[in-house]
Amino acid sequence: MVNSFGLFLSSALVLCLLKPVLTEPLNVGLESTQSRPMNTPERVKRALAKYNINDEKINARVRSAGGGASIELSSAYVDIEYLGYIHIGTPPQKFNMDFDTGSSDIWIPSMACGNSCGSHRRYDSTLSSTYESGANKTWALHYGDGSSVIGNTARDTVHLGNISQPGQLIGLVSKETAQFATDRFLDGIFGLGFPPLAFTGINNSIVEDLHWSGTIPAPIVSFHLGHYRDGGKGEILFGDMNADHFEGELKYVPVTIKKYWQVDLTNVMVDGNPILNKTLPAIVDTGTTLIIVPAYIAKEIHAKIPGAEYSPMYGWRIPCSFGEQTTEETIIFQLGQEEFPIPLRDFVRAKTSPSSGDVQMCYSGIAQANTPLIILGDTFLRSFYSVFDFGNARIGLARSKA
């Protein structure tokens, strides 16, 4: 996951046992919040750090009938991250979470966290009758840019909309670095990657566990990420998909390595011309803001946007007015054998300062870096309804609608 406060944020997955008891889908709403826009080079550095990539080193290196559970999402900091509320414990304690397919641990601040956790909500184990300390062990996540969270593991009931997962393994943070503490909205991370990516010691994904216990009808999690110009609302749905948020049929792409949600990027097409010179691994990451690509791809794409400019300080910037145009020009990303077009106007992000003459400039959703892999973050996912299918190790994508 790559967001304004760290494309490097972590997430968790956990398992369940099989029993046929279906409930309503879980819908979690996502929202975006606003603050100082982080410039593109800053955001890229943090995003790559999440995958232990050092740029400088690279230079030298309708809900269906079965039902699930949904949570409303809100876009924060002008589509930098999408957050939704969960509850933990008995009685439930509320937390605002980033649902991150780019990591696999669930973590929240605990009462043991002092000033380093800023104004975030803190979990109080003494108030929960379902808290289990038996899983307690030291736990830490350290990222390539020096940011980290440290604490202990425990188990408690996790409530997602109208469903619950008892005895879920979670990380209770006693210390976090400033990159997390300064995010005014995010309390913690809800990881939705595969178990090999986890640091808390989970053996399975919570999505699989919810399915195997019969709580949700399918081992899938689906996302609709709204654009700030349309209100920035979204939805995460556990165990089902919401046909009201997409048009046409889902196109499925196989996962190549079950760690991240990694697929093959087989082509990028500009004006119908292929510009990718080889197949590259691509990670589909709800916790990352940008699409991050090698420099030659970024240059070809931005050459199609009048007035686009690049600087080492700001990265790629685009005239803000371009986002208001009705042009239907697209850039096509080919994943496996399937093509996924994104309108050029959808690459326009938050306003930057200074502007270029009389033209107000905005950050681009496409960033360049010396990287051996592609990161397809929220700039990509806003154009598509996405279904992450644990059971079949595949990602389904269909054109999104509000």
Query: What kind and span of H or E run contains 141?
Result: strand 138-142
Amino acid code (one letter) for 121: R
Three-state DSSP at 220 gives strand
- Single out the catalytic residue among 55, 98, 100, 145: 100
Determine contact, residues 377/289, Cβ cutoff 8 Å.
yes
- Single out the catalytic residue among 55, 209, 285, 378: 285
User: What is the DSSP code string of 310-339?
Assistant: EETTTEEEEEGGGGG-----EEEEEETTEE
Determine phi and psi for 271, rounding to 5 degrees.
55, 30
First to last CA, the chain: 23
Amino acid code (one letter) for 350: A
How far apart CA 252 and CA 394 sit, in angstroms, is 6
Q: Which two tokens stand for residue 175?
A: 């210390």
Q: Which two tokens stand for residue 67?
A: 């039902």
Which DSSP letter does residue 302 get?
H
Question: For strand 315-319 and strand 394-400, is the pairing parallel, antiparallel, or unpaired?
Answer: unpaired
Determine contact, residues 51/285, Cβ cutoff 8 Å.
no
Which residue from 253, 272, 273, 229 is spatially nearest to 374, judged by alpha carbons? Answer: 253
Residue 285 falls in the annotated catalytic set:
yes
Residue 271 falls in the annotated catalytic set:
no
Determine phi and psi for 302, rounding to 5 degrees.
-70, -20
Determine contact, residues 174/110, Cβ cutoff 8 Å.
yes
Determine contact, residues 291/376, Cβ cutoff 8 Å.
yes
How far apart CA 369 and CA 373 sit, in angstroms, is 10
Determine contact, residues 362/351, Cβ cutoff 8 Å.
yes
Query: Which sequence positions are flagged as catalytic?
Result: 100, 285
